[in-house]
Structure 1
Amino acid sequence: MPPATASPLPPRVPASAAPKPDAPLPPTYVNKTGFKAVVPPGLKKSFVICLGDDPEDIKKWREERRKKWPSRANVAEKLKAGIVPSPSKPASTDNRRTCNYFLKNGKCSKGDSCTFKHDEEAHNEYKRVGEKRIKDRADQLESFGSLPKKTRKEGILDKLLEAEEKDEEATTLAIIRYLVGVDFLQPQSISKSSNTDNTANNEKDEHV
């Protein structure tokens, strides 16, 4: 196994080239005012920096930072304006099974003594899914009713019996017309009462 070689040391930086704490600003920032938005490498968010050391710019920059600082007052104001989404509800640590009675009905006769979990969100989701299923089923049945019925392909037996079926239909219609023509469907009680009334009237006329 070859002996390990020591890594070379980095070159020494001359003392004259080291940055000094009281060093003046680079020439590009001397006597400049205003702000500039810069995007650091590897980030998508931009940051606003002062181009110089003007007191008014520094004061304005600090005020903008205070406005954006996530204090309670600023967060409450943004929540009220709808800029920041409301904090999500923490996930429940209750690992119990959901009560079936509460899931379906939204209530349980056992109340707080029930050994299962009463989850309002699960009940609302169950109710929403159930209503959607009912609506989808109704729409499906309605669409089926509006579709034209598929004609069944006639077989050899249907063709052989077609003439006989037409004869039976014609005979049935003729019988119905005959029964209607002779008032066969008229109630017998009415006809008997009318005959009795006519007989009584005739006898009364004879006595007179």
Structure 2
Amino acid sequence: MVNELLETTKYLGIFISLGAFVIGLAAYKRWPYAFMNPLLIGTILVILFLLFFDVDVPTFQTSAKLLSDLLTPATICMAVPVYRQFKILKENSWAILISCFAGMTSGLATIVSLGLFLKMDSVTTISTLARSITMAIALDTTALIGGVGGIIVAGVIFAGIFGTVISGPLFKLLKIEEPIAKGLAMGAASHAIGTSEALKSSELQGAMSSLAMVVSGIMMVGLVPLAAQLVQ
């Protein structure tokens, strides 16, 4: 029944996804804790919906495709805070490059090491290499090295949500208060999801996160194929 509605009603998947996010947003306002991230709550609600009504995932994806199509222009819009803070970004160019390179190489080393330790097959391992960069770049990069699109989508979403959830408590634990450092960490580890969270704190932090996301994405286009060679 629900599958038929999704097939015949073109945008029902969009309303379900947005409705789940609105519920998550309301829950976060009521209980403003890190683990009550609206995107996390919304994702869980959509998964429960799919399981409860036995909905075909491809059918739901087709119905909610417009949201995916808006991902790339939404990412491009993050160039606005980068432009506004360009002077500060230029002054910290070396810190940005070094931080992003360290973040990307350490992330790839961790995935390759875990893949070998857990004895995962090579396809699964290479399908998770690009999980720290924005979806628009991660999908194309993973396809070029022969990875599975579904795995990298899940990996990118998990990395974004996980980084957003733990960033606040982790910054407090490590006593990190510098907005530039916070922004670089959020953008390099949690891409667009982390950047949207960083923008809530300040425009400078959001700008640093946006730039880190872009720089990290460019670096990973070159680093991921090299890491894939170690796995295959």
TM-score normalized by structure 2?
0.19
TM-score normalized by structure 1?
0.21
The higher-RCO structure (CA 8 Å, 6+ apart) is 2
Greater Cα radius of gyration, structure 1 or 2: 1
